[in-house]
């Protein structure tokens, strides 16, 4: 069967097809945010694909957009007595520390939808307040009156004993989506567990409806969905795990970067994915790093997901002059409609894409392989307006827009490296996304990185990465005890039910036992701390020493405190797909490149269509490399080499980097 990877972004929907012979076909269509499946189905039609010959893996933004835009399903929140306002109180963290009159923030769940039931347990699972049948009948009547679209159930210490949550779930009226905290996130932390369960409930009905429409549109093709952890889940199970899909698109990009980085011989990558709306920055050390301390909008995202930092800097980021006369770029974006001014769809404000076009780093006739001509006059008009406000020319304004956008992205790269005690010079800077190649050299120089990698098909790498991601699950359970009070056998027993559940779910997707790889981990911290390190399970003594070493490496010291076990974790993965990529023909004759004027350089530079490059070819900057889905700007002082797979290896030739 043909493999189809799809990444739905804020501006474009990317499609990558791997044919039976290993050849790749890439395609971009403008996203349709109001009905994301419409863009996917249009792309499938334009590619001339027959759904009966496809197997699709998809990175969905439906859940992400619903949360960010405040358009989640109407959800009732059921909890123990006195805990109904926990989601509104949160951790009492202030957005503006010194503002004595902060604007009111809308609570996640309206008070009328916060339902408290007489069910309470102690930390050891002892029943303090029992849930009787009368209370269940009363609860059902309240739910019938409220008629929510979804229900989130989060009782105190239900992760120790989930029987009461199951009893409540059983009386919820038919047709209402149900999310149980003991199933979604069976961990300590009342607020984080409650928010995670509420998010899962809020996006569940939306995701279920969307996936149903998508699966019907591509039937009979089987559909899998990328999870935030960089692993896939069958569409039939995905709607039950909506909170695990909130970073599915970026996770696909990291899966693709790790795969192509391995082919290119680079294990340690500092990556940035620059699309039309935002830029995602992450570290890859053989595999993408996972975290349970992410965020989505204002909410904590405590399920395992790729560890990344996202900023509002993309090709569509809007540029403006603030009240103080300073140039600002982002986070607001022109999106897919109207898009940048050069799209010719009515955009009236300068963007990063317009700036690159005015500087000559984008060719108006080569965008999307020539399928979409860019309007140079429209771009110059909005840059002239911006320049007038700054007192400079359109070209100078365009340079300023690019420099400000670069500084935003460089700052994000420092957050993921320097601020964590890591030297970015020890990594290879890997760029992808439609706009990444235009900025890679400048960003490398700002961090004194000498080597960079532009993977083959970098403009659609998130879609390609969907096809390199294994089926998998990440499961956890709180077991809060001093580590010294446990023995290896007790911890091994705690892993068993999690592993059994993960295996059962993977079996439903056709993964056999002998194909499943299991990884066991512990969350450890010093007694009295709130932050924990997630480390591989190696036995109590070895795990304790590994934690203390990790703490010393991060914070510079160890403590004379007992080590505490917080959670046990089990990761299960099926076979890792390796989409076959065709090698370049090293013996093919090398063609000459036409030359165009790049305004920023004040000279004519060669333009190389990427498809004519051969393995082993070297090109000195300045130069432009064009392809259907992206453009790469090789700055002066940089040289690139093409490897056997078509990846571009860039190296600085100056001593200043």
**Confidence at residue 447, expressed as pLDDT on a 0 to 100 scale:** 94
543, pLDDT greater than 70: yes
Rounded Cα distance between 183 and 164, Å, is 12
Last residue of a domain, one of 424, 449, 466: 466
Is residue 448 reached through a cis peptide bond, with omega within 30 degrees of 0 on the bond before it? Answer: no
Rounded to an integer, the average pLDDT of 555-559 is 91
- Between 288 and 473, the more confident residue is 473
Contact 542, 532 (CB under 8 A): no
186 and 95 in one domain?
yes
Residue 39 and residue 97 share a domain: no
Residue 503 has a CB neighbour count (10 Å cut-off) of: 18
371 lies in a domain? no
3 state DSSP class of 655: coil
Question: In the prediction, which pLDDT does 591 show?
Answer: 63
Q: Is 369 helix (H, G, I), strand (E, B) or coil?
A: helix
Both 80 and 202 in one domain: the answer is: yes
Burial string for 108-119 (b: 16+ CB within 10 Å, else e) reads bbeeebbbbbeb
Helix (H) or strand (E) holding 359: none
Q: What is the pLDDT of residues 162-188, one digit of tens each?
A: 999 999 999 999 999 999 999 999 999
**Looking at 521, 543, 573, which one is the last position of a domain?**
573
In three-state secondary structure terms, 161 is coil
CATH code: domain of residue 30: 3.30.420.40
Higher pLDDT, residue 519 or 583: 519
Query: For the chain, what's the residue count?
Result: 657
Q: Which two structure tokens, joined as six digits, stand for 463?
A: 């879609």
Helices (H) then strands (E): counts for the chain: 16, 35
234 found inside a domain: yes
pLDDT in tens, 606-637: 888 888 888 888 999 899 998 887 889 999 99
Is 540 part of any domain?
A: yes
pLDDT attached to residue 369: 67
520 and 636 share one domain: no
Examine the pLDDT at 574 and tell me if it is beyond 90: yes
Query: 57 and 95 share a domain?
Result: no
Q: Assign 27 to helix, strand or coil.
A: strand
* Cis ω for the linkage preceding 331 (within 30 of 0): yes
Same domain for 78 and 55: no
Task: Check whether 432 has a pLDDT greater than 80.
Answer: yes
What pLDDT band is residue 191 in, cutting at 50, 70 and 90? very high
Cα gap 224→244, rounded to integer Å: 13
What is the tally of structural domains in the chain? 5
- Whole-angstrom distance, CA of residue 190 vs CA of residue 192: 6
pLDDT at 656 over 60: no
- Residue in 408, 403, 405, 432 with CA at minimum distance from that of residue 270: 432
Q: Are residues 433 and 293 in the same domain?
A: yes
Cβ-Cβ contacts under 8 Å for 472 (sequence gap 6 or more): 227, 229, 231, 232, 506, 571, 572, 573, 574
> Would you say residue 141 lies in a domain?
yes
Distance between CA atoms of 386 and 319, rounded to whole angstroms? 8
Least confident of 78-92, 172-186, 277-291, 402-416: 277-291
Helix 36-46 / helix 190-218 crossing angle, nearest 10 deg: 40
Q: Are residues 183 and 112 in the same domain?
A: yes
∠ CA(203), CA(191), CA(493), 5° rounding?
90
Please state whether the peptide bond connecting residue 220 to the residue before it is cis, i.e. omega within 30 degrees of 0.
Answer: yes
* Whole-number Å distance between alpha carbons of 546 and 657: 35
- Residue 564 — very low, low, confident or very high, per pLDDT cuts 50/70/90? very high
The strand pair at 54-59 and 223-226 is best described as parallel
Cβ burial of 29 (10 Å; 0-12, 13-18, 19+) is buried
Per-residue pLDDT band at 595 (split at 50, 70, 90): low
Q: Which of 324-338, 341-355, 413-427 has the lowest mean pLDDT?
A: 324-338
Q: What are phi and psi of 513, to 5 degrees?
A: -55, -40
Q: Which two tokens stand for residue 216?
A: 């019907």
In-domain check, residue 325: no
Cα-Cα-Cα-Cα dihedral of 173, 177, 182, 184, to 10°? 180
User: Which residue did the predictor score with more confidence, 200 or 597?
Assistant: 200
| Whole-number Å distance between alpha carbons of 639 and 472 | 39
Stronger pLDDT, 48 or 656, i.e. the higher one:
48
Is residue 516 included in any domain, yes or no? Answer: yes
Give pLDDT, residue 203. 93
Both 61 and 87 in a single domain? Answer: no
Residues 320-332: pLDDT tens digits? 998 888 999 888 8
* One domain for residues 125 and 28: no
Whether residues 90 and 190 share a domain: the answer is yes
pLDDT in tens, 393-403: 999 999 999 99
In the β-sheet with 75-79, what is the strand arrangement from edge to edge? Answer: 114-116, 75-79, 150-154, 177-180
Closest CA to 84 of 51, 101, 109: 109
Q: Is residue 367 predicted with pLDDT exceeding 80? A: no
Where does the pLDDT of residue 21 fall: very low under 50, low under 70, confident under 90, or very high at 90 and above? confident
Residue 417 domain boundaries: 249-300+410-466
| 504 pLDDT above the threshold of 70 | yes
Examine residue 338 and say whether the peptide bond preceding it is cis (omega within 30 degrees of 0). yes
Residue 397 lies in a domain: no
Cα–Cα separations (whole angstroms), residue 26 to 427, 565, 599: 29, 47, 30
pLDDT of residue 257: 92
The C-alpha atoms of residue 539 and residue 524 are separated, in whole angstroms, by 13
CATH code of the domain containing 450 = 3.30.420
pLDDT tens digits, residue range 110-168? 999 999 999 999 998 899 999 999 999 999 999 999 999 999 999 999 999 999 999 99
Residues 55, 130, single domain; the answer is: no
For residue 498, being part of any structural domain is answered with yes
User: SS3 letters for 120-135?
Assistant: EECCCCCEEECCCHHH
Render pLDDT for 219-272 as a digit per residue (tens, 0 to 9): 999 999 999 999 999 998 898 889 999 888 788 889 999 999 998 999 899 999
Q: Provide the pLDDT for residue 599.
A: 61
Alpha carbon distance 416, 268 (integer Å): 13
């Amino acid at each position: 069967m043909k493999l189809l990877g799809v990444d739905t972004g804020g501006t474009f929907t990317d499609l990558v097809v791997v044919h039976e012979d290993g050849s790749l076909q890439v395609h971009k269509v403008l996203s349709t945010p109001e009905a994301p499946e419409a863009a996917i189905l249009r792309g499938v039609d334009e590619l001339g694909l027959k759904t009966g010959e496809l197997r699709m893996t998809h990175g969905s933004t439906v859940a992400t957009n619903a949360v960010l835009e405040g358009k989640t399903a109407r959800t009732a929140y059921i909890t123990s007595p006195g805990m109904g306002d926990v989601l509104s109180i949160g951790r009492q963290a202030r957005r503006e520390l010194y503002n004595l009159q902060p604007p009111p923030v809308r609570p996640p769940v309206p008070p009328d939808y916060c339902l408290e039931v007489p069910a309470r347990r102690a930390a050891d699972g002892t029943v303090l307040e029992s849930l009787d049948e009368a209370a269940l009948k009363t609860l059902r009547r309240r739910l019938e009156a409220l008629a929510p679209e979804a229900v989130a159930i989060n009782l105190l210490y239900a992760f120790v004993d989930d029987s009461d949550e199951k009893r409540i779930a059983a009386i919820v009226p038919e047709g209402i989506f149900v999310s149980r905290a003991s199933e979604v996130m069976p961990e300590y932390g009342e607020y984080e567990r409650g928010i995670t369960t509420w998010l899962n409930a809020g996006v569940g009905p939306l995701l279920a409806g969307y996936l149903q429409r998508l699966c019907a549109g591509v039937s009979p093709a089987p559909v899998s969905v990328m999870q935030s952890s960089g692993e896939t889940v069958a569409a039939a199970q995905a709607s039950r795990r909506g909170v695990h899909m909130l970073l599915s698109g970026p996770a696909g990009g990291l899966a693709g970067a790790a795969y192509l980085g391995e082919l290119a011989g680079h294990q340690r990558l500092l990556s940035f994915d620059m699309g039309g709306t935002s830029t995602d920055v992450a570290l890859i050390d053989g595999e993408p790093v996972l975290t349970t301390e992410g965020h989505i909008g204002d909410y904590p995202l405590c399920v395992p997901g790729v560890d990344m930092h996202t900023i509002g800097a993309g090709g569509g980021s809007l540029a403006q002059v603030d009240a103080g006369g300073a140039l600002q770029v982002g986070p607001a974006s022109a999106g897919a409609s109207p898009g940048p001014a050069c799209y010719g769809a009515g955009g009236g404000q300068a963007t990063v894409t317009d700036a690159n076009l005015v500087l000559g780093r984008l060719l108006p006739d080569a965008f999307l392989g020539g399928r979409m001509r860019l309007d140079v006059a429209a771009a110059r008009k909005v840059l002239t307006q911006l320049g007038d406000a700054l007192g400079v020319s359109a070209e100078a304004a365009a340079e300023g827009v690019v420099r400000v956008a670069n500084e935003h992205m460089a700052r994000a790269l420092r957050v993921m490296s320097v601020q964590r005690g890591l030297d970015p010079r020890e990594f290879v800077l890997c760029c992808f996304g439609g706009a990444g190649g235009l900025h890679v050299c400048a960003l490398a120089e700002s961090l004194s990185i000498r080597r960079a990698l532009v993977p083959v098909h970098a403009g659609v790498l998130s879609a390609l990465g969907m096809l390199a991601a294994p089926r998998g699950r990440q499961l956890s359970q709180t077991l809060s005890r001093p580590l010294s009070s446990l023995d290896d056998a007790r911890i091994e027993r705690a892993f068993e039910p999690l592993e059994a559940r993960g295996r059962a779910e993977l079996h439903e997707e056709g993964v056999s036992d002998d194909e499943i790889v299991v990884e066991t981990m512990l969350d450890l911290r010093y007694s009295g701390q709130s932050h924990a390190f997630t480390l591989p399970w190696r036995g109590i003594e070895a795990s304790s020493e590994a934690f203390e070493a990790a703490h010393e490496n991060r914070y510079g010291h160890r403590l004379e405190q007992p080590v505490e076990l917080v959670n046990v974790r089990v990761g299960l993965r099926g076979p890792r797909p390796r989409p076959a990529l065709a090698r370049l023909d090293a013996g093919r004759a090398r063609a000459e490149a036409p030359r165009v004027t790049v305004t920023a350089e004040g000279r004519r530079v060669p333009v190389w269509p990427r498809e004519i490059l051969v393995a082993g070819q070297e090109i000195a900057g300045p130069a432009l490399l064009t392809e259907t889905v992206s453009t790469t700007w090789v700055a002066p002082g940089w040289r690139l080499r093409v490897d056997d797979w078509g990846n571009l290896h860039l190296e600085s030739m100056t001593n200043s980097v």
